[in-house]
Amino acid sequence: MSESNAAKDPSSRTRGKAPGILPGLLQGMVTTAKSALRPTHTAEYPHAEPTLPPRSRGVIALLEENCTSCMLCARECPDWCIYIDSHKETIPATTPGGRDRQRNVLDRFAIDFSLCMYCGICVEVCPFDALFWSPQFEYAEYDLRDLLHEKERLGGWMATVPPPPALDPAAAEPAEVTAANRPERGRP
Amino acid sequence: MTWVEVVLRAVVILAAFLSLPLLVGQTEHKLMAHMQGRLGPMYAGGFHGWAQLVADGAKFVQKEDIVPAAADKRLFRLAPAIALIPYLVALATVPIHPGVAGLDVPASALLFLVATGVGALGTLVAGWASANKYALLGALRAAAQLISYELPIVLSLASVCLAGGSLSLLTLTDRWQPHWLLWQLPGALVFLVASVAELTRPPFDTPVADAELVMGPWTEYSGLRFAFFLLTEYAGIVVMALLLSALWLGGWHGPFSDTLGWLWTVLKAFAVAVLIIWMRVAWPRVRADQLQRLAWLVLVPVALAQLALTGVGVVMGW
């Protein structure tokens, strides 16, 4: 008899003893009353700024000076939402008899945020640190087509990029520091 | 009673009928929100969203009033009125102030029971006329539930009528004495539980269980007619809370009852309404079979025992 009861009532096996109906009901009322007296969790968003974690992926900002138009980001982008146009300019030689040099000049850098899936591969792949994650997220538009943002707008978001978080205490020192501290090669 | 007084009473009752349910609804919005760690409406009307239900009403008025092609159109249109108007009548019978009730008739307790019974019919008519399986299932559940819970309500009310020796709610409240609080306590609890079930409010909301039946008998309704069903629910809370306050909690009895009697009645009723809201937040829905067990194996026996206890008390002259 007692065995069949124990098999029927799962709570008696897992919890030891189940509270009766009345204690359960009272417990429900006490719990709700307690949370009614506590401050609420609601953040009234448009009137209160949200506290976002430092690595929030809100929007991708462009530091135009660092971009070499190498197209790595555009080619790695899974849904091809980055548009880059550039042309070559010739820099005349600075010394007499020297050779003219050529450099890429960025004409257009645009990200279509209606296609972007915020994977961050472009940020990862950029060898020159021209792309950054910004926590800024308030750039909704009424028309899907208005989500294609050009380099002026992308550059404007650079102001909202937070400084990189500090390294962990036990982390290896940054590559730049290692390179600067490396002893000079002994000359033969 | 002159016709001016009749009109005046009718207007006051109608105003209470249209405003008190909104007050209860707003209380439910805010209380339920805070019990769930939310804020609830905050913007409509400026101060803590006080006008949210007014805004909801304005929205409901603008919605299209849809009648399904397969519905029994006349009954479908009539159902909200069948549900709503009886509670208006029931509200009129409730004593508010010493010697004051909207509708003072000798057997107002009977009138109250009849009116709330007819109100239950509106749900059934709505479910039947909608020509929708969810509505029909909901209406059948509601029928089973309302029939079961009508009996405990009648029995617990009969107990008070026996204790007060009258069928007039005004006389009953007039004869209320503080020791009734203990003497009639089982009946009060039975009435509270049964009236929550009668209103198909959580935890007894299987007829409108949204996870199973969309919105039960109200599934096909839209616009103002849907709003009338919601108003019925909250008007029902007001009516039941007022009656509970008048008969079991002493109504106007309290300090300065000659002048502040109405305030005592309303305050006690508000406390009951808060309790009804609280039950909705705290407790899970009861299954249909558990609902029947509770009605027939707990509430009816307790109500009968209360009736016997009241009979003993009346004979002994408590």
Q: Is A38 on the interface with B (CB under 8 A)?
A: yes
Query: Looking at chain B, how many residues does it have?
Result: 318
CA gap B297, B289 in Å, rounded: 12
Q: What is the pLDDT of residues A32-84, one digit of tens each?
A: 999 989 888 888 888 888 888 878 899 999 999 999 999 999 999 999 999 99
Per-residue pLDDT of chain A (188 residues; tens, 9 = 90+): 344 444 445 444 455 566 788 888 888 899 999 998 988 888 888 888 888 887 889 999 999 999 999 999 999 999 999 999 999 999 888 888 888 899 899 999 999 999 999 999 999 999 999 999 999 998 999 999 999 999 999 999 999 898 887 888 888 888 888 888 888 887 66
Instruction: Confirm if A134 and A161 have CB atoms less than 8 A apart.
Output: yes
> Is A114 part of any domain?
yes
ipTM of model: 0.74
CA gap A78, B275 in Å, rounded: 56
Chain A / chain B CB contacts < 8 angstroms? 35
Q: Is B34 on the interface with A (CB under 8 A)?
A: yes
Q: What is the pLDDT of residues B17-31, one digit of tens each?
A: 989 999 999 999 999
**How many domains does chain A fold into?**
1
CATH code of A142's domain:
3.30.70.3270
Q: Is A26 on the interface with B (CB under 8 A)?
A: no
CA gap B222, B273 in Å, rounded: 27
**B34 contacts in chain A (CB < 8 Å):** 35-36, 40
Of B281, B290, B293, B298, which to mutate for an interface test with A (greatest number of A Cβ within 10 Å)? B281
CB spacing of B37 vs A40 below 8 angstroms: yes
Q: Is B35 on the interface with A (CB under 8 A)?
A: yes
| Residue B315, both tokens | 């004979």
> Is A183 part of any domain?
no
Long-range contacts, stretch B7-16, CB < 8 angstroms, 24+ apart = B9/B92, B9/B102, B9/B103, B10/B102, B12/B102, B13/B88, B13/B91, B13/B92, B13/B102, B13/B103, B14/B88, B16/B91
Cα dihedral value B301, B304, B309, B314, nearest 10: 170
CB spacing of B33 vs A31 below 8 angstroms: no
Q: Which domain holds residue A63?
A: 59-160
* Residue spans per domain, chain B: 3-316
